[in-house]
Structure 1
Amino acid sequence: MMKMLDRLREETLELHKELEKDNLANKIMDNSIGMDDYTNLLFQNYVAYKSAESEIARFLLDYSSDKTNRLKQDLSGLGMYDLEFDLEFECHNEAEALGASYVIEGSAMGGMLIGKQLKNCKNLNGIGQQQFFSGDRSSMKGWNKFLKYLRTREFTEGEVNSAATKAKDTFLLFQKAFALVPDNC
């Protein structure tokens, strides 16, 4: 398990840092985010999660993530209903789905920290309880389930390589999504 997990961390470290650097979530962390930027951040995440989660579910049979649905609920609560947008993203096997899942499920810790900080953003007072950036520890369940699954398996070098490549592709998917601005935002 450590070989797979270590390799995924190693291979994605720079992309992860780069993605966090210019992300709208930083405005939550410094309490400067406004409603338009927050709506945009939710939309960007929705597009990325929706594109990746449907592909992961094709190969990981017991995969269940509600991130896309929670984002959809939050966007609906902000009056955004036109969510028919996808970015091209494909998984071709279980190893690739695991690489994508590493990014999707691994985001839970950052999301939890962002959620805890959200209540300090005065420009967002009145948005109500958020589903995606809730700050709730239960958002870590998917990550813990992912780690548990990795512990049950041995992986070939080819599978590790495939998973690492797809994890990088998944960070690039988020990079593309974070460049989007919805029409009604």
Structure 2
Amino acid sequence: MRVAHRPPDVVRQALRAATNEIHERLHQHPALAAVQDGAIDSLAYRRLLARLYGFHIAFERAARLKPERSVWLEKDLAALGMSPERRAALPLCRGFPALALPEALLGALYVVEGSALGGVTLARGLEGLVGVGVLDGRRFFTGHQAETGRAWRAYLARLSATDWTAEQQATIISTATTTFALFECWLGGWNDTDD
């Protein structure tokens, strides 16, 4: 197996280039744009959170990760009046790529960890809906709060800690693009349910 000896940021640059288009489309997603603009109403916001929950709980299970984002979403949905029974009945995202290989998991985590950075900005747009300084109802978007940048840097350190082979680099990138595409498709149905 031939090891690709390249500067560590080459994989990150390749990830950014491969996912840039879908990332930009997600910035224009109606619900996410409404959150950013502070223009989302409580019903639409609850529907968005329900959809995000269906993605993140399924992702954490597929990746065999300790629940974190799904727990934050559970708390937000409860703060917005959704019962545990209703939450348990929400649809879950299907079709995650295989995440058993470390490089595959890192590719998928590029999407999940990277979105946390944007979530901090989006959380500010929710102040009019949930209240200034209020965490209940926007726990998911506040993420690790002041530690969000540290969590992202820890992810980047994991990404650059290994001299990935060309094949492993391809797996990282393809898993990231597949996960991004799955997320975009899943988020497309955010307004399809009646809560």
Q: TM-score w.r.t. structure 2 length? A: 0.81
Tell me the amino acid that sits aligned with residue 172 of structure 1: A
In structure 2, C-alpha distance between the alignment counterparts of 1:167 and 1:86, rounded to whole Å: 19
Tell me the amino acid that sits aligned with residue 185 of structure 2: K
Q: Does 1:105 align with 2:107?
A: no
Tell me the amino acid that sits aligned with residue 12 of structure 1: T
Q: Which has the larger radius of gyration?
A: 2
Structure 1: runs of 5+ lacking an equivalent: 58-62
Q: CA deviation at 1:94?
A: 1.8
Q: CA offsets per residue over residues 48-87 of structure 1, 9 Å max, x none?
A: 2222222233xxxxx6561111011101221223334222
RMSD: 2.3
Q: Which residue of 2 aligns with 1:73?
A: 75
Structure 2: runs of 5+ lacking an equivalent: 1-7
Q: Which residue of 2 aligns with 1:140?
A: 149
**SS at structure 2 position matched to 1:132:** helix
Q: Which residue of 1 aligns with 2:3?
A: none
Q: Which residue of 1 aligns with 2:39?
A: 32
Q: Does 1:87 align with 2:93?
A: yes
In structure 1, C-alpha distance between the alignment counterparts of 2:66 and 2:9, rounded to whole Å: 23
Q: Which residue of 2 aligns with 1:153?
A: 162
Query: Percent identity over the alignment?
Result: 25
**SS at structure 2 position matched to 1:79:** coil
**SS at structure 2 position matched to 1:24:** helix
Tell me the amino acid that sits aligned with residue 153 of structure 2: N
Conservation of the 8 A alpha-carbon contact between 2:47 and 2:193: no
Q: Which residue of 2 aligns with 1:60?
A: none
Residue 55 and residue 45 in structure 1: after superposition, are their counterparts in 2 closer, same or farther (change >3 A)?
same
Tell me the amino acid that sits aligned with residue 75 of structure 2: Q
Q: TM-score w.r.t. structure 1 length? A: 0.85
